[in-house]
Amino acid sequence: MLFIGVGVVLAAGGLFTYYKDFAKEDTHSAHRAESNHHSSKEGVHLNADHQNSSTKIEPVTYYQDADSVEEKVRRVLESMTLEEKIGQMLVVGFQSTESDEHIERMIRDYHAGGVILFDRNMENPSQVAKLTNQLQKIAYSSSLQIPLTFSVDQEGGAIIRMKEYFSSLPSQQALGEKGDKKAISKLAVRTGQQLAAMGFTINFAPVLDLSDTDSRSFGTDPLLTGEYGSEVISGLVAGGVTATVKHFPGNGRSNVDPHEDTSAVDADQLDLENNDIYPFKKVIQELNHDDFFVMVTHIKYPAYDKEHPASISPVIMQDLLRDQLGYTGIVVTDDLEMGAVNKYFTYEDLGCQAVSAGADMLLVCHTEESQKQVFNGILEGVQSGEIPISRVDEAVERILSYKYQHITTIEADEEEAAKIVGDK
């Protein structure tokens, strides 16, 4: 339970309140319609009095305990400005181990709905718990009080954050070679518990790419990769966090690191669907779509789309992932600051095209300027008619539904995190 504002108590999933500013003469709805959020190519700016923490505020009940998740989502969505909706779609990173001006601006002014943490942000379990609490409180100081998601890449092996506390987490390659499903599940449960204790809600794992050389891969067998991936998903969920399968539709054949540059997978649709795509198909068919996101890669697949990387391809995200495979959960892009895309597209274009193609969440992991440009690209896309507002509403509805169903606590226990996290 988290105390926010002036005598307001909010419990996740319970009574939701938002604030009405009685220092202003206009009503809350008129105030929001008029909007203090001015958009331009330079960014979004808040009026000075909107930032004044001493302004008198009182809580206004927005929905009741008895309301269904669907009703809560509907009411909140109806109250949101376009800028607030776009912000919910962004997952942003920053550089420090405590709340700084960069991340506070992105949450307060640009309404960022999610934060991703890296080693640069993480010193020890209690510090991470304190950090997620700090940022969550900033999100709850806004009128809508929508919780943040906190995500991390905790795959195992070479991709481990805060390694001194997670050194015993093996690579997927090592787990695949051993082939012990119970061990995979047990490790995933433990990882989920440790991440949840620090305030994380999402782990960007498991990797379902097929490879006999990449330590991030379970191997080359599509069936076993799907089975091992299912164990990871179920284990993470049991531990308290949501999983993310990546990198759809499978980039194991590429020898080019998408962090550095683009590449294309030279295979026909039948080959891809019987191999690279099969592990994704298996988890989509067998598991609850609320338990995992799908992260889309920046690699090109000419068999489906000769022009666009997967992360901005409507053929990959809508026709293949949604329509053919039937996935109904949240689709997230890989980091838009990777060389595979930022060498060839502006950030404004990436934001606009990714949302138009079907992405619900967009990762922009490093720089504030890039994050603002992606935001403004989406905003300008909606204003110009290139992105239908229904596409934004669809994405935000999924995000809000996820948050109201899955974020069951909004404050991490710093002392408990120190006890739970670490090799035991």
Enzyme catalytic residues = 259, 334
Six token digits for residue 261: 């540059």
Torsion of the alpha carbons at 231, 235, 238 and 239, rounded to the nearest 10: -170
Question: How many degrees, rounded to 5, is the angle at CA 55 between CA 50 and CA 57?
Answer: 105
Query: Closest by alpha carbon to 333, among 216, 233, 247?
Result: 247
Query: CA dist 187 to 110, 128, 193, 329, Å?
Result: 37, 21, 10, 24
